[in-house]
Amino acid sequence: MLKKIMLFIFMILITSSGYAVASTDRVVFYPSGADISRLIHADITAGNNVDSSGGTVTFILPGQALPDTFSIAPITKEVVINDVSWTRDDLTQSPAAVDLGKKIDLLKSKLMSVNAQIKAVEGGILFWNERGKIQQTKVGEVDKIADLVVSNLTKLYNQSVKLGSQSKDISSLINELSRKIKEISGPGKSRWIVTVSVVASGNKSADFKINYMLRNCGWRPKYKLDGYPDQKKVEFSFDAEIWQSSGMNFKNFDVALATVKEHSRIYPPELRLWKIAPKRPDMPEPAKYARSMKVMESSVQMNDAVAANAPVQIKKSTYSIWELGTKTIVAGPARKYAISNESWDAEYSFLSRPSATPEVFVSAKMKLIDAKDFPSGQALVLMEGAMIGKMKFSFFGKDKTLFFGADPLLKAERKTLEKYSGEKGVFGSKQTYNWKYLITLSNSRKNPVMIKVQEPAPSSGDKRIKLSDSAEPKAVVKDNNFEWDITVPASQKAEVQYGVDLNAPEDMIIDFGLGR
């Protein structure tokens, strides 16, 4: 049984006379593949040799299956596996594909006939259009010719419309049948015939457990995050888009999703040599190569109990398995399945940076009891049910801070009150600069809101440049920013004033940065 290997999507074993008949099916989806586990009751075909105890069992697998990942174990006692062989088979020659191919050929012939009629009608239309332009007609025949032109053109145009509609319908049907052939054949348009040699001790049938990997399938997460500041909640939903391009529909599989990262290393990277030496100008930099490898851990054991209703999360040491229960996954476009809906307690805060934008942004901080394991995927972001936008989202652990865009009921504006320069000192040996700003916070909500206001705090790049600041209310300087926590009453405004003074040598040329 394969344990640590990249695993790919499943397919129902195609059955026919003498082939295996499925009894229990399970698939574990990964971001770019899946692992198939099946319990098979198979007929054993007697061999041609003298030993009557020997025989073969034949399985037909999709062309996307990887032979190196196939494993089989007998469940029936006294049955032993001798060897396994794989051969390619053109799936386009399967009975279903051949039947569809014949239908397509007939439709193509009919389409050619219809298109030929369209060409003939177009010729007739051209003839009668030209006939109507002839001027040498006798006066008594003008009306007759005019009637003929109108009558014939009317018939021909009606025929053209009908034939054009038939051509489109036939072309659409050909495209639909071609799509069905592609679903049957898969991208590779081939399949594997797996022949297993067994010692059966007289048994005409036996039970086997098989596992294999399949490509061209997978799943991706889809999230929705809806913020409710007044309720101090974040409503969270997690859906999974599952797809498979095996060419077959898969009925009543036990389906599970694994949250394993799509790309991860098997071995740790080598440390580079730290060598200090004189640099040679002409010495080129060494080429750097990195190989990204995929690794997936598979849960290939069959579960006795499968979730019948809501998906159940089973946490492994490095990833999680979501058991979805019994599902039918059809070949073709991705289909969405609901996985989880949760309501998280959150502490909301509001952040303003007035010099950059008048918008006030909303954030929610969660501290959850249970650790989460949600892989990276696209999330719809809403505020109280209203769509805001989309973002990349992942959540591993218990703590998470999310932004929910700007609150339309809050506003922050900064206005420059003073900005001037001058000189001071007995001989004017110093240059001075002064900046004063007013920040106005507006709250149109029906409840008071505390807003964290941040503005850049200037720092001196030269010890001769002296800076001082003042603010009302007093500011806290953190990470080179002024910060205020201002409570704005409901439907009212609040103000913050702050200023910066600069002293520097008279002859110093200064780059004032944001204050220029």
> Is the predicted pLDDT of residue 93 greater than 70, yes or no?
no
| Cα 207 to Cα 482: distance, rounded to the nearest angstrom | 73
Q: Encoding tokens for residue 258?
A: 């694994």
Supply the pLDDT for residue 305. 35
Supply the pLDDT for residue 303. 35
**Average pLDDT score over residue span 75-101:** 76
| DSSP 8-state class, residue 287 | P
Q: Is residue 124 part of a domain?
A: yes
Which residues lie below 8 Å from residue 80, measured CB to CB, with a gap of 6+? 74, 198, 199
514: three-class secondary structure by DSSP: helix
Domain end point (choices 153, 185, 217): 185
Lowest mean pLDDT among 12-26, 58-72, 145-159, 471-485: 12-26
Q: For the chain, what percent of residues have pLDDT higher than 90?
A: 27
Supply the pLDDT for residue 462. 83
Domain end point (choices 185, 202, 219): 185
Q: In degrees, to the nearest 5, what angle opens at C-alpha 481 toward C-alphas 478 and 483? A: 75
Supply the pLDDT for residue 309. 63
Q: Encoding tokens for residue 516?
A: 């220029």
pLDDT digits (tens, 9 = 90+) for 44-79: 887 655 455 678 999 888 778 888 889 999 998 888
Q: Is residue 221 part of a domain?
A: no
Q: Are 420 and 434 in contact (CB under 8 A)?
A: yes
Q: Encoding tokens for residue 377?
A: 């995927």
Supply the pLDDT for residue 240. 93
484: three-class secondary structure by DSSP: strand
The sign of the CA dihedral 246, 249, 255, 257 is positive
pLDDT digits (tens, 9 = 90+) for 400-438: 999 998 988 999 999 999 887 776 554 557 888 888 999
Lowest mean pLDDT among 138-142, 311-315, 344-348, 472-476: 138-142
Q: What is the mean pLDDT of the chain?
A: 78
Supply the pLDDT for residue 162. 84
pLDDT digits (tens, 9 = 90+) for 130-158: 766 655 555 556 566 666 667 777 787 78
What is the band of 266 on the pLDDT scale with cuts at 50, 70, 90?
low
Q: Is residue 483 part of a domain?
A: yes
Q: Is residue 490 part of a domain?
A: yes
| Cα 141 to Cα 407: distance, rounded to the nearest angstrom | 80
In the chain, the number of structural domains is 2
| Cα 395 to Cα 407: distance, rounded to the nearest angstrom | 24
Q: Is residue 15 part of a domain?
A: no
CATH number of 489's domain: 2.60.40
Strand partners, 6: none
Q: Is residue 240 part of a domain?
A: no
Domain end point (choices 185, 204, 236): 185
Q: Is residue 197 part of a domain?
A: no
90-96 long-range contacts, CB within 8 A, separation 24+ = 90/189, 90/190, 91/63, 91/184, 91/185, 91/186, 91/188, 91/189, 91/190, 91/191, 91/247, 92/181, 92/185, 92/189, 94/14, 94/184, 94/185, 94/191, 96/184
> Is the predicted pLDDT of residue 22 greater than 80, yes or no?
no
> Is the predicted pLDDT of residue 379 greater than 80, yes or no?
yes
DSSP 190-254: EEEEEEEEEE-TT-SEEEEEEEEEE-SEEEEEEEEEEEETTTTEEEEEEEEEEEE-SSS-EEEEE
Supply the pLDDT for residue 418. 86
Supply the pLDDT for residue 328. 87
Most confident among 36-50, 97-111, 376-390 (mean pLDDT): 376-390
**Average pLDDT score over residue span 466-494:** 92
Q: Which structural domain, as residue segments, surrounds residue 445?
A: 405-515
Q: Is residue 472 part of a domain?
A: yes
